[in-house]
């Protein structure tokens, strides 16, 4: 009887450990402290199947090894779900929160939860308003300067257009373009849409917008839009501009189905933002003119380092290379990427 009881207890313990392992990522031993003493950090990602955010997530997890335990959450693009996840993480005793908001307008609600529990919160990639961020002394942000990516993408368009006069199919000196916009209201989508065209115009190149619609950062939605646009405008389209690489790659898939990038040399210039690995392959294949490196490795590193310091009660910047701007934000710089300097982007994904 005693032996059976011991077997039953062992089975129950194995089941409990398996359940816990599914919920948290426990760092291996050999870090700054034994695994049982590592701080517990709660992390949410607005949706796991976002191409770029998948790389940020992996870098947070990689940097946490041996230094912290993580509770990871896929918010599935549902702000109500994310709010519930934050409540659950707080109840489980996290010592810091790292939040990739579904909706930037929800920052105040997340801050209220963190403040009530006296927890530090690091927002990343989707930026809260300055008023929200400054409403709580233990709230900070890790991200980019949104306008910078639009300016760099615009410069790629300018340089490529000037180098290839044959892309001006009707010879009018004007770029007839279609633009795939990200999520409406998202700071990156709004800034990239504005500054890419502004940069081209400031370089003395006239533009004509044939279409501008949201593809919601999504390849499949972008492909559908490009299918419709090409059916409507055909070869009157001279440039495809996308707010991110996922949509640029969706547009390329549509264009391939319409005979572009094949043996006969039919070509359409396409640009994106993020410089994810699939986009780098497309640049090498001559299907993507260029992209802008949105540095997932350093965004993940900065997010984790600030969260770890905050969880340990230290200054969030202690021992890091980061600095805050006037709005309590770490700004990870972008880099414009074309075939000429593609190694910079490839190095950012190296293990």
> In 3D, which of 302, 293, 297 has the Cα closest to residue 331?
302
CATH of range 31-144+295-333; options 3.40.50.2300, 3.40.50.150, 3.30.60.50, 3.30.70.20: 3.40.50.2300
- Residue-wise pLDDT for 120-153, tens only, equals 999 999 999 999 999 999 999 999 999 999 999 9
What's the whole-model pTM score? 0.78
Q: Indicate if the pLDDT at residue 27 is higher than 80.
A: no
Say which range, 7-11, 17-21, 60-64, 123-127, has the weakest mean pLDDT: 17-21
pLDDT tens digits along 236-286: 999 999 999 999 999 999 999 999 999 899 999 999 999 999 999 999 999
For residue 69, what are the β-bridge partners?
40
pLDDT class for 21, splitting at 50, 70, 90? very low
For residue 35, pLDDT beyond 50: no
Q: How far apart are CA 204 and CA 157, in angstroms?
A: 12
CATH class of residue range 147-293: alpha beta
Instruction: Show the CA angle centred on residue 350, arms to residues 334 and 140, nearest 5°.
Output: 45
Distance separating alpha carbons of residues 105 and 128, to the nearest angstrom: 7
Residues 298-333: pLDDT tens digits? 999 999 999 999 999 999 999 999 999 999 999 999
Q: How far apart are CA 260 and CA 246, in angstroms?
A: 18
Question: Mean pLDDT throughout 113-121?
Answer: 98
pLDDT recorded at residue 256? 98
**What is the Cα gyration radius of the chain?**
23
> Higher model confidence: residue 5 or residue 53?
53
Q: Rounded to an integer, what distance in angstroms lies between the CA atom of residue 133 and that of residue 119?
A: 14
139 against 35, higher pLDDT: 139
Residues 308-317: b if buried by 16+ CB within 10 A, e if exposed: bbbbbeeebb
Using pLDDT thresholds of 50, 70 and 90, give the confidence band for residue 348.
Answer: confident
Give me the phi and psi of 319, to 5 degrees please. 70, 15
Q: Could you tell me the residue ranges of all domains in the chain?
A: 31-144+295-333, 147-293
- Please give the residue that has the higher pLDDT: either 35 or 283: 283
**Does residue 6 register a pLDDT over 50?**
no
Span 36-92, pLDDT tens digits: 689 999 999 999 999 899 999 999 999 999 999 999 999 999 999 999 999 999 999
Distances in whole angstroms, Cα of residue 189 to Cα of each of 147, 194, 257: 10, 9, 27
| pLDDT digit string, tens, across residues 214-234 | 999 999 999 999 999 999 999
Residue 34: the pLDDT is 35
| Paired strand residues for 87 | none
pLDDT category at 186 given cuts 50, 70, 90 is confident
Q: Is the pLDDT of residue 14 over 50?
A: no
């Amino acid at each position: 009887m005693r032996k059976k009881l011991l077997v039953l207890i062992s089975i129950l313990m194995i089941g409990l450990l398996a359940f816990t392992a599914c919920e948290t990522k426990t760092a291996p031993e050999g870090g700054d402290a034994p695994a049982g003493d590592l701080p517990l950090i709660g992390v949410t990602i607005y949706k796991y199947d976002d191409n770029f955010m998948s790389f940020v997530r992996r870098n947070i997890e990689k940097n946490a090894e041996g230094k912290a335990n993580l509770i990871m959450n896929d918010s599935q693009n549902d702000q109500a779900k994310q709010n519930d996840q934050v409540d659950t993480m707080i109840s489980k005793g996290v010592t810091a929160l790292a939040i990739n908001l579904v909706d930037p307008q929800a920052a105040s609600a997340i801050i209220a939860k963190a403040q009530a529990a006296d927890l530090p919160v690091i927002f990343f990639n989707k930026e809260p308003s300055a008023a929200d961020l400054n409403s709580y002394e233990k709230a900070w942000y890790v991200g980019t300067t949104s306008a910078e990516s639009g300016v760099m993408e615009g410069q790629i368009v300018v340089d490529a257009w000037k180098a290839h006069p044959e892309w001006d199919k009707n010879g009018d000196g004007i770029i007839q373009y279609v633009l795939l916009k990200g999520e409406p209201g998202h700071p990156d989508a709004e800034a990239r849409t504005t500054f890419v065209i502004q940069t081209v115009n400031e370089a003395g190149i006239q533009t004509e917008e044939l279409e501008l619609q949201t593809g919601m950062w999504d390849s499949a939605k972008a492909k559908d839009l490009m299918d419709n646009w090409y059916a409507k405008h055909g070869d009157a389209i001279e440039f495809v501009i996308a707010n991110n690489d996922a949509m640029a790659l969706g547009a390329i898939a549509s264009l391939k189905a319409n005979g572009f990038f094949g043996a006969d040399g039919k070509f359409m210039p396409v640009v994106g933002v993020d410089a994810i690995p699939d986009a780098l392959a497309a640049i090498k294949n001559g299907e993507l003119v260029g992209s802008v490196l949105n540095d997932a490795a350093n965004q993940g590193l900065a997010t984790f380092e600030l969260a770890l310091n905050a969880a340990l009660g230290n200054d969030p910047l202690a021992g890091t290379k980061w600095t805050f701007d006037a709005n309590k934000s770490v700004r990870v710089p972008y880099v414009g990427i074309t075939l000429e300097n593609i190694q910079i982007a490839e190095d950012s994904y190296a293990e």
